[in-house]
Amino acid sequence: MTGTEQFLSAELAQAIAMLYAHPAPDAALNLQATRKEFEGDYTAMMFPLLKISRKSPEQTGEEVGQQLQMQCPEVASYNVVKGFLNIRLSAAYWLNRFADVAQTEQYGCHLPSGKTMVVEYSSPNTNKPLHLGHVRNNLLGYSVARLLEANGHRVIKVNLVNDRGIHICKSMLAWQKWGLHATPESSGRKGDHLVGDYYVLFDKEYKRQQADLQAQGKSPAEAARQAPVMLEAQEMLRRWERGDSDTVALWRTMNAWVYAGFDETYRKLGVHFDKIDYESNTYLSGKKIVEEGVRKGVMERRDDGSVWIDLTADGLDQKLLLRSDGTSVYMTQDLGTALQRYEEYHFDAHIYVVGNEQNYHFQALRLVLEKMGYAWAKAIYHLSYGMVELPDGKMKSREGTVVDADDLIEEMIRTARETAQEAGKLDDMPPDEQQRLFAMVGMGALKYFILKVDPKKTMLFDPKESIDFNGHTGPFIQYTHARIKSVLRKAAQQQLVAGLTGATLNGKEIELVKILYAFPEKIREAGDACSPALIANYAYELAKEFNQYYHEVSVLHEPDYALKTQRLLLLQQIAGVLKTAMGILGMEAPERM
**pLDDT tens, position by position, 374-389:** 999 999 999 999 988 7
Residue 204 identity (one-letter amino acid)? K
Measure Cα distances from 499 to 440, 490, 503, 510, 563 in Å: 31, 16, 10, 17, 10
Percentages helix, strand, coil for the chain, rounded to the nearest 5? Answer: 60, 10, 30
Measure Cα distances from 54 to 49, 454, 479 in Å: 8, 43, 54
Dist CA 511 CA 14 (whole Å): 27
Same fold flag, 121-291+328-389 and 405-584:
no
pLDDT band at residue 401 using 50, 70 and 90 as cut-offs: low
Q: Which helix (H) or strand (E) holds 6?
A: helix 3-20
Give domain 3-89's CATH architecture: 2-Layer Sandwich (3.30)
Return all residues near 352 (Cβ < 8 A) that are at least 6 apart: 120, 362, 380, 381, 382, 383
Mean pLDDT of 33-45: 95
Instruction: Assess whether pLDDT exceeds 50 at residue 397.
Output: no
In tens, the pLDDT along 189-237 reads 999 999 999 999 999 999 999 999 999 999 999 999 999 999 999 999 9
State the pairing for strand pair 349-355/116-120: parallel
Class level of CATH domain 121-291+328-389 = alpha beta
Q: b/e per residue, 487-515, with b = 16+ CB within 10 A?
A: bbeebeeeebebebeebebeebbbbbbbb
In tens, the pLDDT along 572-585 reads 999 999 999 999 99
**Residue of 589, 572, 573, 582 lying closest to 539 (CA atoms):** 582
Strand ordering across the sheet containing 116-120? 275-278, 154-161, 116-120, 349-355, 380-385
Q: Which helix (H) or strand (E) holds 137?
A: helix 132-150
Residue 118 identity (one-letter amino acid)? V
Measure Cα distances from 551 to 74, 75, 518, 557 in Å: 29, 29, 23, 13
Dist CA 414 CA 408 (whole Å): 10
Instruction: Assess whether pLDDT exceeds 80 at residue 530.
Output: yes
What φ, ψ does residue 163 adopt, rounded to 5°? -100, 15
Instruction: Assess whether pLDDT exceeds 90 at residue 371.
Output: yes
The per-residue DSSP string of 385-432 comes to: EPPEEBTTB---TTTT-S-BHHHHHHHHHHHHHHHHHHHT--TTS-HH
- pLDDT value of residue 392: 61
pLDDT band at residue 278 using 50, 70 and 90 as cut-offs: very high
Q: What sign has the CA pseudo-torsion 424, 426, 428, 433?
A: negative
pTM of the shown model: 0.92
Domain ranges of the chain: 3-89, 121-291+328-389, 405-584
In tens, the pLDDT along 92-134 reads 999 999 999 999 888 999 999 999 999 999 999 999 999 988 9
If one looks up domain 405-584 in CATH, what number appears?
A: 1.10.730.10
**Residue of 450, 532, 529, 428 lying closest to 143 (CA atoms):** 532
